[in-house]
Amino acid sequence: MTSILIVKTGALGDVLRTTAILPGLCERYADCRVTWLTAPSAVDLLRLNRRVAEVIALDTKSPEEVERTLERLKLTTWDRLLSFDDEEPLCRLASALTAKRLSGAFLDGYGRRAYTADVGPWFDMGLLSVHGKTRADRLKVENRKSHPAIFAEMLGIGIGKPTLEIDEAARRFGDGFAARTKLLARGTVIGLNTGAGGRWHSKTLTVEKTAELARRLDRELSGKVTFLLLGGPGEVERNRAIVEALGQSVSLVDGGCDNGLLEFAALVSKCDLLVTSDSLALHVALAREVRTVVFFAPTSAAEIELYGLGEKVVSTAPDYCSYKPDADVSSITPERIAAAVLRQLPKRA
């Protein structure tokens, strides 16, 4: 049996999109047993994945927990260790384990964070880049390959797709929510996830633009649509403002901002199409095979593979893909997004 350890924590969306490597790994190593080390908050994204034998949750801010986890992982000689995080505790952990082949980040002989040459195509564009930040940023802008394509090439596997299974409790939650709110009464359901948490202001569509988008689509679809408003804990006030801005002008159901990951996925699964920023919701929709229109300003559209499930609306401003919190979003308009939505809706199977 081929033992594979994947170390990937970080943003929840990044964890979910990285599950795209699993089909290819399991095809290349037919007898593999995959263990995935991740943050406690990401466990629900992985625990039902049939290609992951074990999920280990690790709080990297706890030295005691890091040490306990390290001692546990040392009991195995790993055939492949895929270390995809650049945090110092995780680099140290990767360096301390016994692996026949390490790909990814580790601590070198001087205690400095480094990465193996085979994962250069990805890490060269990141904070650890051997080329320095200026060149790394330029490589990010110049890149035209998607995240799954880059990882497949690095690992010598086929390009895969992320998956996210939901359990029976989450499925019942979604069904109950839809019945209680009469979500499906008008036929088409369009999800609106136009925020992006607290950090990335330039990833978001403003409250005013979100309301204008909903009204425009409602007119184009002759009122035969219900909008499902989605968001996370940091978007309570923002979503409340969207509800107030729209009033009774469209059929709008507030999905709430306090749902668990699988409950959130169950709500996304009720949508015919999701309009979203480059956020966790995007990756949930793709993993659940929900058609998606996603807009990009500060981040790279090229990195995202939509798997034929939607369309990208990309900023035309000079600072596109600058990773600036205040990047110019003026070219991300309700008109452009609405046009993309209308192109994509008829394609739903």
Q: What is the pLDDT of residues 263-321, one digit of tens each?
A: 999 999 999 999 999 999 999 999 999 999 999 999 999 999 999 999 999 999 999 99
Domain 168-347, CATH number (from 3.10.129.10, 3.90.1150.10, 3.40.50.2000, 1.10.760.10): 3.40.50.2000
Nearest to 60 by CA among 125, 6, 119, 8: 8
Query: Across the chain, which distance is largest between two alpha carbons, in Å?
Result: 66
3-state helix, strand, coil in the chain (%, to 5): 40, 20, 40
Instruction: Identify the CATH class of 2-155.
Output: alpha beta
7, containing H or E segment: strand 2-7
pTM for the model stands at: 0.95
Domain with CATH 3.40.50.2000 in the chain: 2-155, 168-347
Over residues 107-123, the mean pLDDT reads 96
Q: What is the pLDDT of residues 71-100, one digit of tens each?
A: 999 999 999 999 999 999 999 999 999 999
